[in-house]
Amino acid sequence: MEIPISRYLILLLLPLFLISCNEENDGEPVVFVGDSLVEGWKTNKCFPTYQTEKKGISGARLEEALTWEIDAANKTVVFLIGTNNLGSVSFLPANFYLDFTDCYLRLIDSLGGKKNIVISLLPRTLTGERPTINQEIKQLNAKLKEAFAPYDNILFLDVYDHFTDEEGNANPHYFYDGLHLSDQGYNLLSSLLNVIL
């Protein structure tokens, strides 16, 4: 399976993104909040010009992050969380999308970050999952984008399509198990985030 040219170029340009970060960002603190995808992210290596802090807990759901002690006031905060909310239930309740977006807004508000970057949920393979899960992920991403649009201090980074294969599932180049990112996946995600960080 071939990697599309645009994605291949992003991977090739990652070192240039890392080197060409503005000097004014040197040492700026960035807090990463999320689940196992954040826990496994080598943020110090991927973002060497920033002081990165991580609060990533394997299996974490969005609402759990509201109880964490995180020093993010007046810092840039990067969020990557929510896949466990979708993957841990056999069906989604009718009010799921509204409750999820409301919880996200409460979390962002509670941390007091000066700049908040929310990374969209990533695709998953369908092995052992609901056949509709990727459609649900795309719908949730659309709801998050809409909910965050009025806020000047929230940027929504929709990376979903960058991580899909021709069938719209998790691209095996970027995942080692259909959910967790491989080194290639983290390189791609870091390059996409670096553009707006």
Please check whether residue 22 lies inside any domain of the structure.
Answer: no
Q: What is the pLDDT of residue 91?
A: 82
Q: What is the pLDDT of residue 6?
A: 58
Domain count, the chain: 1
Q: What is the pLDDT of residue 137?
A: 94
Please check whether residue 112 lies inside any domain of the structure.
Answer: yes
Please check whether residue 21 lies inside any domain of the structure.
Answer: no
Please check whether residue 141 lies inside any domain of the structure.
Answer: yes
Predicted TM-score (pTM) of the model is 0.86
Residues of the chain with pLDDT under 50: 1, 18-25
CB 54 within 8 A of CB 94: no
What is the pairing mode between strands 76-80 and 28-34? parallel
Other C-beta atoms lying within 10 Å of the C-beta of residue 178? 16
Strand partners of residue 170: 164
CB 55 within 8 A of CB 95: no
DSSP letter for 104, please. Answer: H
Instruction: Give the Cα separation of 110 and 106 in Å (integer).
Output: 6
Residue 190's domain comprises: 5-16+27-194
Look at residues 165, 105, 96 and name the one whose alpha carbon lies nearest to residue 136.
96
Q: What is the pLDDT of residue 139?
A: 96
- Sign of the Cα torsion 150, 121, 139, 169 reads positive
Please check whether residue 62 lies inside any domain of the structure.
Answer: yes
